[in-house]
Homo-oligomer: A and B are copies of this chain.
Amino acid sequence: MISHSCYATEPWRLRETELHLDVLAQSESVFSLANGHIGWRGNLEEGEPHGLPGSYLNGVHEVHPLPYAEAGYGYPESGQTLINVTDGKIIRLLVDDHPYDLRYGTLLAHERVLDFRTGLLGRTAEWESPDGRSVRIATQRLVSLTQRAVAAISYEVTALNGPATVALQSELVANEQLPDGSDDPRVAAVVESPLRAEEHFSEGTRLRLVHRTERSGLRVAAAADHLVTGPEGTSWTTGCEQDVSRLTVTASLAAGQRLRLVKFVAYGWSAQRSLPAVRDQVEGAVATAQSTGWDGLARAQRDYLDRFWSRADVEVDGNAELQQAVRFAQFHVLQSAARAEQRPLPAKGLTGTGYDGHSFWDTESYVLPVLTWTAPETVGPVLRWRHATLPAALERARQLGLAGAAFPWRTISGAECSAYWPAGTAAFHINADIADAVERYLAATGDEEFARGPGLELLVHTARLWHALGHRDADGAFHIDGVTGPDEYSALVRDNLYTNLMARRNLAAAARAALRCPDHAWRLGVDGAEAAGWRDAATHMAVPYSARFGVHEQSAGFTDRERWNFDATDGEHYPLLLHFPYFDLYRKQVVKQADLVLAMMACPDDFTPEQKAANFAYYEALTVRDSSLSACVQAVMAAETGHRRLAWAYLGEAALMDLENLENNTRDGLHMASLAGTWIALVYGLGGMRLHGDGEEAVLGFAPRLPEALARLAFTVLVRGCALRVEIRPDTVRYALADGEPLRVRHYGEELTLSAGEPVERGVPEGAEPQEPEQPAGRAPVDRLTGSDGQGVSCGSR
């Protein structure tokens, strides 16, 4: 029984050399194509076998009641779940009446390639039908980064012996039958057959289906048109029913003859627009795509990606696996956001239905940092999506008895969908994470219009939340009680350090922004007294510290808790949350994921180097990494505290999370945060990049140091539209500004002013090699980056 997928290690491509049905769902996630608006999982065009068929439109969801055995005030009543929309990928193939299905006949050859530069997913295969007919298949697929509503497939079938009668059935299919189902019958009901038919159409080579979701009332239209190229006698017919619209092309192929079908698919959806409006929208999009043609779409895709890579590429010399992994990661992160345009970035992007397609703080705290420095044009729209959900967040805060905005822990539309409040509602830090993303975006871009508009509103309303949530004690300290930080193995604590430091920054940023745009702030009702209150709260923010242990506390009293008995916890008891009750996790010293360690990365100037070292060692011994959000942050802080071997190991874990299916759930979709974390671990970690200072004083600093395995690491960050290339070698770093105004940066604390075209080189100071901290028994990271290069094959689950 093979339980892993095999990928060749190549710098710019992910190549699958064998097809293993038992990891089909995982490979469908890995080979997903998306543009932030449309997501197509890497399902085979023939439809079956499949792991999880998936076609998604960002924002298209159904709602269902959330059940509570014991209800409570303020519990969200309605859940939202991403639904599988009309599948436009299907092109079934019949060879002499045998359906092309790998489970029958013989698969003689199979290769799939995802090319990060062309943006195409290609497949070649040779198959012999049960009665001995052999065909070669060559497909290419794209989800257009330039035509937002469009996806396209080029499908070629060649007869290897003949004559063969082949038929291609190109379809739009709604309400595909899905494997498994939810435990909750009411959720299963809305997920399994979510679309109500409104219109079905087929004519010539054109197909169309229009459906509507029942409860959320979203209208979804899909249209397709085709180009058919085949030998003489090739013919086609169409037909349609409520849930399927189909073009059937038939041809008789002599040996060596070929039938080619190019399929242009367009999607549109709306909660408001009428059926004719949405119909015309997809018809227009498909016509435009057809006039661009397959070659034109593919060329535009390549151009788009060339532009992206010219500014965003990370070069890694010395480890081919890592080189591939970081490009794979950046490609998928870009795909999740490129054309999201005021829609959310779900935790799994548009690659699967994991987490119901919800967006979390992952967006602002993991994905946006990467995009802010490499593709900032995608970030404004995402933050504008958050801003567009402000009415729901204001209402939620009101419902909770607070002021300002309480952004949802998990959502699609903006309404809170978290049904477990200790790890949802109480995780207020998402508000500061959003504010932090605003500040980072402004520091990187100087987008004045955003700063005066949505940015200011986001800062003001999140600051108001903190001011209402906290309180001054008798000694004047500002405490935030009853919140849950990033570490989900603690909940409802006093003064979560991460939350407090991020809230402090949020409050200060709002006060600065109000001062900077007094008129706009005034319109939001901010007066001097309110801003002074924010500054005051920030100044007096409690920062829990244990003098006894000489470390900061993850929350007040954290270090007084009983330590988890790690020695008595076997490997099969991880993740702990599946084997131990929350009550026991919450009351002990055990950390699911970087929390205080994340605070040290996010707020670098709030800790001395000695504190960072002591804190890192203390929390390292408690952190079990039961979350995919942890390894990359631990990589960053391991690097900063001088633990190069450890940083390397954590970097490898982040980089291979999905390629090696480390959490055993890549089938449900890719871990966007961990993909982003690959870049973070490289740039923040090995590059030692941090944003120091606040607001207009913010300056990028670097403190690079390579692990032994690497000979060179080079990356580019975009600052106010200018590309800063940082090239790190074992002993030297070269900073090169491509264009624009001179730029201040720091190298190990030394201030440099870079001018365009005048690279500056600096040495890498000798680094101490402090004693390595210990992890909980059995939880030390493994060095996964074996570094095979060239055409080696990397296999998951080793």
Residues of A within 8 A of B (CB): 66-74, 79, 183-184, 399-401, 418-422, 425-426, 471, 473-474, 479, 481-482, 491-492, 494, 548, 556-557, 560-562, 577-584, 586-588
Contacts and interface: CB of A to CB of B under 8 A. Distances in A.
A492 B420 contact: no
A71 B187 CA distance: 14
A69 B420 contact: yes
Contacts of A548: 474
Contacts of A420: 69-70, 72
A72 B423 CA distance: 12
Nearest to A575: B73
Query: 6 smallest A-B Cβ distances: which pairs?
Result: A482-B587, A69-B419, A67-B67, A471-B562, A74-B581, A481-B587
B482 A586 contact: yes
A348 to B, nearest CB: 17
A655 to B, nearest CB: 30
B73 A492 contact: no
A583 B67 contact: no
Given A582-B421, A583-B400, A481 B72 contact: no
B421 A581 contact: yes
Nearest to A587: B482
Contact of A561 (B422, B481, B586): B481
B482 A580 contact: no
Contacts of A556: 557
Given A67-B184, A561-B481, A580-B73, A492 B421 contact: no
B69 A184 contact: yes
A246 to B, nearest CB: 38
Given A67-B69, A422-B422, A583 B482 contact: yes
Contacts of A419: 68-70
Contacts of A421: 581-583
Which of A73, A474, A586 counts the most B-chain CB atoms under 10 A from its CB?
A73
B481 A562 contact: yes
Given A66-B69, A68-B419, A72-B582, 17 more contacts: A67-B67, A67-B68, A67-B69, A69-B420, A70-B418, A70-B420, A72-B420, A400-B583, A421-B582, A425-B581, A426-B583, A474-B548, A481-B562, A481-B588, A482-B587, A491-B492, A494-B557
A11 to B, nearest CB: 41
Contacts of A69: 66-68, 79, 184, 419-420
A403 B421 CA distance: 29
A552 to B, nearest CB: 18
A580 B491 contact: no
Contacts of A491: 492
Contacts of A401: 580-581, 584
Contacts of A184: 67, 69
Among A74, A491, A557, A587, max chain B CB count under 10 A is at: A587
A541 to B, nearest CB: 15
Chain B CB within 10 Å — which of A68, A69, A560 has the most? A69
Nearest to A72: B582
Given A67-B184, A73-B579, A420-B72, A587 B492 contact: yes
A514 to B, nearest CB: 25
B481 A581 contact: no
Contacts of A581: 72-74, 399-401, 421, 425
Contacts of A66: 69
Nearest to A565: B401
A778 to B, nearest CB: 18
Contacts of A557: 494, 556-557
A587 B588 CA distance: 19
Nearest to A474: B548
Contacts of A422: 422, 583
Nearest to A577: B73
Contacts of A580: 73-74, 401
Contacts of A474: 548
A581 B73 CA distance: 5
A482 B425 contact: no
Given A400-B584, A583-B400, A588-B481, A578 B73 contact: yes
A72 B587 contact: no
A67 B69 CA distance: 6
